[in-house]
Amino acid sequence: MPEKTEEARAAQLREQVVDELIADGAIVSDAVAHVIRTVPRHLFAPEASLEEAYSAYNAVITKRDGDGSAVSSVSAPQIQAFMLEQAEIRPGMRVLEIGSGGLNAAYLAELVGEAGEVTTVDIDPEVTDRAGRLLKGNGYPQVRVVPADAHGGVPAHAPYDRIIVTVGAWDIPPAWITQLTQQGRIVVPLRMRGLMRSVALQRISDHLVSTSARICGFVPMQGTGARESQVLLLTGTDEITLRFDDGLPGDPSLLDNAVRTPRVETWTGVTVRRGVPVDSLQLYLATVLPGFCTMAVDPNLDTGLVAPYNKRFSLAAVSEDGRNFAYITPRLTADDTLFEYGAHALGPEATGFADEVAEHLRAWDRDHRRGPGPRITVYPAGTPDDQIPELADGRVIDKKHSRVALSWPPAPAADQDVPHHPIKEEGE
């Protein structure tokens, strides 16, 4: 009787989580709703209670490193649902999953059916052993589980109609593109200037073009594709940390004087209703600010030198001459219903730099806030600038194997449809 009771409760929780994800737009198709209702998620997350396993927005950590950081997890249902929607998987497809957990591979096996194939690969043999055991034990022995560094893909079973990456990736290795079919698609949590988005990328010849992008968080890739961001401690302590994804400023010591100057605060009049997601602001600022980075303040060492609303995470930038830095922060309006965005700056030209950053905030509000978000295009490394048309209204982020272009189509008129799902931003 207790086993039946637990299974009945699990079935009820699956129904609830699907209803919740349909309501928030993470699930939009019958196929994805069906697999999440069907596959017993809790059996692939035995480390968690039923309630923890079926929490719509929380992952289940399955392995930590020696420092206690998560290195493997079962992703939150919301993340898995919208990535499956981004992939648009159909029966009979051949799919490669990069990053094994077991559950997502079971979803994929249900979606491709008996005529399809699913291969899942992970660099950690403990993770693949666990995934293989859970898949076989729960009715999915047909899924191939491969222990390997996924930087080179899995050529033995290529080509793939879809590649779904379930670890945070800084770059797109060439093998991931060459192992796709000509009409194939990659869904990847791609890190761009320190911001991660689950990007659905359609192959067009030798490059990839986005069809959608959604905010996400994943444990970082290990092995050949691993990439650490670089940090700069502004005060020589952990009080204020700037984190850069594409290299430190040319002379970081120039900022030593910046922290000795008074803080300048410039407010923009750009407001967002409290609790409403801010569409695309982060990626827009990452596109237009050359010295873009993120800032964190240690609350135990905080002297009040900077005053962000969110001490754990704020958008920031260093001026082109390397002598000033600024960060974006909201403040509540008098009636506590709106946030107004502003730029705080420190340095010898703090006023001018704060005004420059504030104008970018106003440009986003005026030209892109209600638009579809950026077009993300991935070209092979070495592609000449004149072969990247997105450079005309965007920027290129150069990585080891690829050039990632971010461009910004204008917002549609009020009576037009937005072409794809807007990006929901990290809270500030």
- Give the pLDDT band of residue 3 (cuts 50, 70, 90): low
**DSSP 3-state helix, strand, coil percentages of the chain (rounded to 5)?**
30, 30, 40
> Identity (one letter) of the amino acid at 178?
T
- What CA–CA distance (Å, rounded) separates 117 from 129? 19
Q: Residue 416's pLDDT is what?
A: 42
- What CA–CA distance (Å, rounded) separates 39 from 107? 7
- What CA–CA distance (Å, rounded) separates 338 from 269? 11
Q: Using alpha carbons, select from 340, 339, 338, 297 the residue that is nearest to residue 316.
A: 297
- In our burial notation (b when 16+ CB lie closer than 10 A, e otherwise), range 285-308 reads bbbbbebbbbbbbeeeeeeeebeb
Active site residues: 75
Look up residue 145 and give its two tokens: 């589980």
DSSP label of 212: E
Q: Is the pLDDT of residue 399 over 50?
A: yes
Q: Is the pLDDT of residue 425 over 60?
A: no
Taking only the tens place, the pLDDT of each residue in 171-194 is 999 999 999 999 999 999 999 999
Q: Rounded to two decimals, what is the model's pTM?
A: 0.90
Taking only the tens place, the pLDDT of each residue in 95-153 is 999 999 999 999 999 999 999 999 999 999 999 999 999 999 999 999 999 999 999 99
| Strand (E) or helix (H) holding 285 | helix 281-288
| Strand (E) or helix (H) holding 211 | strand 207-215
Look up residue 377 and give its two tokens: 């295009």
- Give the pLDDT band of residue 426 (cuts 50, 70, 90): very low
- What CA–CA distance (Å, rounded) separates 142 from 403? 37
Q: Is the pLDDT of residue 400 over 50?
A: yes
Q: Which of 46-60, 68-82, 168-182, 399-413 has the highest average model confidence (pLDDT)?
A: 168-182
Q: Which of 150-164, 208-222, 330-344 has the highest average model confidence (pLDDT)?
A: 150-164
% of residues, the chain, pLDDT over 90: 77
Q: Residue 290's pLDDT is what?
A: 85
| Strand (E) or helix (H) holding 145 | strand 144-147
- What CA–CA distance (Å, rounded) separates 393 from 401? 23
- What CA–CA distance (Å, rounded) separates 234 from 399? 26
- Give the pLDDT band of residue 419 (cuts 50, 70, 90): very low
> What is the SS3 assignment for 22?
helix
- What CA–CA distance (Å, rounded) separates 233 from 368? 33
Q: Which CATH number fits domain 62-225: 1.10.10.10, 3.40.50.150, 3.40.50.10800, 3.40.50.980?
A: 3.40.50.150
Distance (Å) of CA 337 to CA 274, 311, 426: 5, 21, 19
- Give the pLDDT band of residue 371 (cuts 50, 70, 90): confident
Mean pLDDT of 34-57: 93
Q: Residue ranges per domain, the chain?
A: 62-225, 230-367
